[in-house]
Amino acid sequence: MVTTTPDRATSDDALRTPSVLAVLVVRNGLPWLRECLQSLAAQTHPRLGVLAVDNASIDGSADALERALGSGRVLRLSEDRGLAGAVRAALDVPVAQGADYLLILHDDTALAPEAVARMVEAAEGIHGVERVGVVGPKVVDWEQPRVLREVGRSTDRFGHPYTPLQDGELDQGQYDRVLEVLYVSSCAMLVSRATWQRTGFLDERFAGRHDDLDFCWRARVAGFRVLMTPLAQARHLGAGAKGERREPARRRGNQYYAERAALAAMLKNYSALSLAWLLPLHVLFGIIRLAYLSLSRRFEDAYELLAAWTWNLIHLPSTIRRRVRAQSVRSTGDRSVRRFMESAWFRVPRWFQTAERLLEEQLEEEREQVPIRTRAASLAVEHPALVTWAVAILVGALAYRELVGPGALEGGALATFPTQAGAFFRELVSAVRTTGLGGTEAASPALAPLGILSSLPFAGPALGQKILLAALPPLAGLAMYRSIRRQTGQAVAASIGAVAYVLCAVTFWAFSEGRIDLLVALAVLPAVADRLERAFGADRPTSRWRAAVGLGMPVAVGVLFLPGVVPALVPLLAVYVIAGRRRLRGSLVAVGGLAVAVALAFPLVPTWIDAPGTSFSSVIGSVDFGRLARLAPGGGPGTWVVAWFLPVAAIVAFSLLGPGDRARGWRAVTVGVVGMFLAWFASAGYLPAALTDAPAYLAVAAVGAATVVGYGLAAVGTGIARQAFGYRQIAAGVLAAVLALGFAGQALAAIVGGWEIGRSALPSAWPVVQGSPGSFRILWIGRADGARFPAPGGDPQGVVEAGLASLRFAITGRDGISALDIGRGPSGPGYAYVDRTLGELLSGQTSHAGALLAPLGVRFLVAEEGDLPRSADERLRAQVDLDLVPAGGLVIFQNARVLPPAFLTGSGPFARAAAGSDLRQVASIPPPTTFALAQTAEGLRVPDQEGIAYLAQQYDPGWRARSDRIAIRPELAFGWALAFSDAAGATISFTRQWVRTLEIAVLAILWIAVLWVTRRPAST
């Protein structure tokens, strides 16, 4: 804003008093109209006329106007034409066209007696200030005149309105100088004749919403000034905004109208050059905003944003016409207009203001010689979230430094992301699994968010991967913060509990290993636990249905990324069902939540029922109880001895709980302890496969432990200072010390880094495998000790038991574990075949494991150096058809008998062996001559030769080989794969894609419905 100096007019000028016509626009304003009219009558300006325009009021306002002004000064419109329409109608009256100034006045605005005179004075009488086109008064609240409502307005670069006023800001004279502004409110707006004649008047399309912004901007482009004079004062009721005006309910929120006007005003008023760079930025920021609104489930706001864009798209032709008119009278550049705009990041200054305030507080305390420790403590107590975020950003920046840079991350257990985001969506909607051993198992709907994240502008899958890894730990902390905050109401306790959760060993381990699935589980489990606490707790939820949906959604998200969340829920649910306060209500909500979760993941449910053992299980884990007790499923940064801080802090915090917290404290502690023990039982192999997932149990244990820490801190925060010195004070000190040491140690570990993932974290021997041409699969093997495979092998998919030679194994494509398999386990008869084959190998009685693995398309068997049991290693080296490839860091066996994943062969032995599942036949198949099947748009084309067409793809009866109107059904090959006899010249394809398409459509509807039910309220 620009301040000008008020100056009195000269005596010569005073002789010619400008005429002002007040155009009073009325719409159902009877309750406040009288006061408005009285204020007009009291004006001191000598040449003031009044013309009232009634916008089809139905409350008798028109009659009241006629009684007050006479019928000649009242225009009755037959329909509501809005502010712009009413002003246009007024302008049709000759007296209006002849007036030097028009004063646009809302019916809920009352002017101070000298207001008009002062505005005219500002328009004409300020020395050196010429071409004043528009003047507005200082607007105060109707009922509380000390509260400021308007002192002129501005926008950001993209036309979004901005006011310098805070809500409820009192008038203390802080704006008492004439300000040159971008625009003033149309509630009382003085417009010179020259201005409206040159620029035209208000844009009727805006229907009274932010049309003042557009009009003033046009006036500025045409070279006129816009001023706010504090000497003129008006009281404004804002009846429409307050809902006091009798009119149909608005269909849209403020967000919509502001966004609509902003874009339209930009399009009309910016020069082409400015638009060339501002419009793309506007679109980009708009998309980011849309994503944020969608992710935070503010769907109504997102919808309004989209609706505003749509309005502008529809009205683009008329906008262009108006733009031509506005630009035709341009007499100044955009730069002179932008002087009156705020920065595009106008919130940033506010943050700086907050920071400045905090700094001032600190400086004040420094002047008062408050010890730095006390100052730090007071800062943390008064602004816990701010301090937490500041420290987290600092530590996070240092921790992530190794991961920043071009290229995708790799290493650890990080799944390989596809090179294109579209691959996520293709896999999601595909009825055929393209990973592992194929089959028709549905992909996890978790691929949808991964695909969306990877599709965002400037983000590819590689960037999406990094964003996920960077965002998930803070999100987990946020979820824990919200959970503790809701339950205890204490921000400090919640902040510390959240930090403890983020810095615990299992979170570190998940991050270090790039386990996106577990990180998602860690982010949703606090919400699940909180909602269970709410459902089973004393507070009455607003609606059971909404509570069930609210519980089901995070459960579904967790399960879709990490099916192991299902077994992890068992201890959680068991504790609440046994020890919850409202068991019946809670159980109903829990059952409803689980039903919702099942519905939201329904395409995966058949597989879960068919093969629960492989769907939910993870053989990752350690049998070292000490390690598990500090919540570390494996090794790596942050899993060291300092990681004990959380369980120790949880126990100390538990001992501090007061009577009111004990019940939920017991529940949380029980969850933590049970989770710990279940993790051991899972790692040690005592649980059924479907309940075996040690990392998931530890994640639940971490939730329990961090929650107890939050409860304990909340208990310390309420009244400990008033209690006599004793155990509680000592324990609080111990708790503080444990947490401080733990946080410092873990933060140090994070800063030091050394993550398993990185930008060049694959074994040096990996190119031996990666460089092999063609399509093939890799069988990863190693000692059955609960560890993952070397990158990019991922986690084991199973264990073949053979005494001391027992092996863990996984089968992947040529790029290793794929992100397309997130949330999807190995299942189907092909994996049973792998199990049989490895069992045969480990029995020590075969020398032809390569031939046995050939139908799987396995070209390489890969193990980490030193990770094979000696007897297994000897048996592998004894195989005739497995050749050890020289490679450092990995033990790689190349299968001499490998077969392509899809081919035609005329080999009789192959056909005979394929017809059954007798491994003796398979082992003795001589290397067949094969002809590759060509990939076409319709499917796999079989060469026009006799033989058997073979697909190393798990069997499903939905496959067909079609040729000349004959559809050949598939045969079961080797007990698990697909074969087609007499399919010369045919095209092989899957015929039941429509089922999957339908599933996806239903799933989308279900998710939309659930998101809508659990949406956040729209912003006002």
Partner 1 sequence: MRARGQLLSAVLVVALVVAGGVYLQDGIGPRSFAAPPLPEAPSGAWFCPHGGGTDWEVTIEVANPGPTPVRVRVTRLGSGKPSSPDVLTVAPDTELQLPAPAGERGSSTMVEYFGGWVAAGWVAHAGGGEGGVAAEPCLSGGGRRWLVPDGTAEENQDDYVVVMNPFAAEAVFTLTLYTTRRPAPITPGDWTNVVLRPHRSEAFRLNPKALGESTVSTLIDVKVGRVATSSLGVSGLGGIRSSVGIEGPPPTTSILPGGFDQGATDLVVMDPTEEAASVQALLLSKDTSQAVPSLVESSTNPGSAATYPVTTEGPSALVVRSPAGVAVARRSLGVTSDQGSTSGTGTPGQAWVILPAVAGPPTHPGLVLANPGTEPVEVTLSYLPAAEGPVPSPVTVQVPAGRVLGPPRSFLEAKPFSAILAVAPGGTFVPAAASYSLGREGYATYAVSLGVPIPEAWIPR
Contacting positions for partner 1 (CB under 8 A): 623-626, 629, 647, 651-652, 654-657, 659, 662, 666, 669, 673, 676-677, 680-681, 683-686, 726-728, 731, 784, 799, 801-806, 836, 839-840, 842-848, 852, 878, 880-881, 883-886, 894, 896-897, 918-920, 922-924, 926
Please say which residue, 518 or 669, places its beta carbon nearer to partner 1.
669
> In which region does residue 631 sit, left (phi positive, over 0), alpha (psi from -120 to 50) or beta (all else)?
left
Lookup result for tokens 């937490």 = 388
Residue 137 host element (H or E): strand 132-141
CA 276 to chain centre: 29
For the bound state, the minimum distance from the C-beta of residue 870 to partner 1, rounded and expressed in Å, comes to 14
Closer residue to partner 1 in complex, CB, 369/723: 723
Minimum Å gap between C-beta 642 and partner 1 is 19
Comparing CB distances to partner 1, the nearer of 126 and 669 is 669
- What is residue 619's three-state secondary structure? coil
Q: Is 928 exposed, middle or buried (0-12, 13-18, 19+ CB in 10 A)?
A: buried
Name the minimum Å distance from CB 686 to partner 1.
Answer: 6
Tell the smallest beta-carbon distance from residue 627 to partner 1 (Å): 10
Cβ-based nearer residue to partner 1, 19 or 921: 921
Q: Which helix (H) or strand (E) holds 162?
A: strand 161-162
Cβ closest to partner 1, residue 228 vs residue 619 = 619
- Least distance in angstroms from the C-beta of 602 to partner 1: 34
CB of 919 to partner 1, least distance (A): 4
Q: Are 122 and 249 in contact (CB under 8 A)?
A: no
Nearest to 266 by CA among 241, 248, 286, 236: 286
C-beta of 325 vs 877, nearer to partner 1: 877
Nearest distance from C-beta of residue 379 to partner 1, angstroms: 31
Instruction: Considering the complex, state which of residue 405 and residue 719 has its C-beta at the smaller distance from partner 1.
Output: 719
Q: Which is nearer to partner 1, 549 or 973 (CB)?
A: 973
Amino acid at position 132, single letter: V
Tokens 């909340």, residue?
714
Q: How far is the CB of 166 from partner 1 (least distance, A)?
A: 46
- What are the DSSP calls for 280-330, one per residue? HHHHHHHHHHHHHHHHTT-HHHHHHHHHHHHHHHHTHHHHHHHHHHHHHT-
Give whichever of 563 and 869 is closer to partner 1, judged by the CB atom: 869
Nearer to partner 1, 625 or 640 (CB): 625
Shortest Å, Cβ 715 to partner 1: 10
Asked whether the beta carbons of 219 and 199 are under 8 A apart, the reply is yes
Please, what is the minimum distance in Å from the beta carbon of residue 511 to partner 1?
A: 26
- How far apart are CB 442 and partner 1 at their closest, in Å? 32
Judged by beta carbon, residue 513 or residue 881, the one nearer partner 1 is 881
What is the C-alpha separation between 43 and 394, in angstroms, rounded? 60
CB of 977 to partner 1, least distance (A): 17
Element (H, E) at 800: strand 798-800
Q: Note every long-range contact of 664-669, with CB atoms under 8 Å and residues 24 or more positions apart, other chains counting.
A: 664/487, 664/533, 664/537, 664/711, 665/708, 665/711, 665/712, 666/579, 667/533, 667/575, 667/576, 667/579, 667/580, 668/529, 668/703, 668/704, 668/705, 668/707, 668/708, 668/711, 669/704, 669/708
Report which of 625, 639, 629, 864 is spatially closest to residue 755, judged by C-alpha positions: 639
Spatial neighbors of 280 by CB under 8 A, at least 6 apart, are none
CB of 921 to partner 1, least distance (A): 8
CB of 874 to partner 1, least distance (A): 10
Nearer to partner 1, 376 or 880 (CB): 880
Q: Smallest gap, in angstroms, from Cβ of residue 944 to partner 1?
A: 26
The distance of closest approach from Cβ of residue 569 to partner 1 in the complex, given in angstroms and rounded to an integer, is 22
Token duo for residue 992? 């039941």
Q: Tell me the CA end-to-end span of the chain in Å, nearest whole number.
A: 27
User: In angstroms, what is the minimal distance from the CB of 800 to partner 1?
Assistant: 8
Closest CA to 261 of 320, 215, 325, 292: 215
Residue holding tokens 């399960």? 559
Region of residue 1016 (left: phi > 0; alpha: psi -120 to 50; beta: else): beta
Nearer to partner 1, 211 or 840 (CB): 840
Helix (H) and strand (E) counts for the chain?
A: 40, 31
Structure tokens at 905: 């062969």
- Token pair for 1018: 């729209």
Backbone angles phi, psi at 675, to 5 degrees: -60, -40
Query: If you compute the radius of gyration of the chain from its CA atoms, what whole number of angstroms results?
Result: 36
In this structure, how many other beta carbons lie within 10 angstroms of the beta carbon of residue 327? 16
Q: What is the DSSP string of 470-533?
A: HHHHHHHHHHHHHHHHHHH--HHHHHHHHHHHHTSHHHHHHHHTT-HHHHHHHHHHHHHHHHHH
CA distances in angstroms from 878 to 149, 769, 783, 873, 907, listed in the order given: 87, 21, 18, 9, 27
* Residue 834 near residue 809, CB atoms below 8 Å: yes
Indicate the residue among 443 and 854 with the shorter CB distance to partner 1. Answer: 854
CB of 758 to partner 1, least distance (A): 31
Angle at 698 between CA 696 and CA 699, to 5 degrees: 65
Q: Name the residue with tokens 């009242």.
A: 74
Question: Which residue number, 539 or 883, has a Cβ lying nearer to partner 1?
Answer: 883
Which CB atom, from 245 or from 788, has the smaller least distance to partner 1? 788
Which of 175, 893 has the CB closer to partner 1?
893
From the list 134, 280, 278, 115, the residue with the least C-alpha distance to 195 is 134
Closer CB to partner 1, 274 or 847, in the complex: 847
State the burial class of residue 8 (Cβ atoms within 10 Å of its Cβ: 0-12, 13-18, 19+): exposed
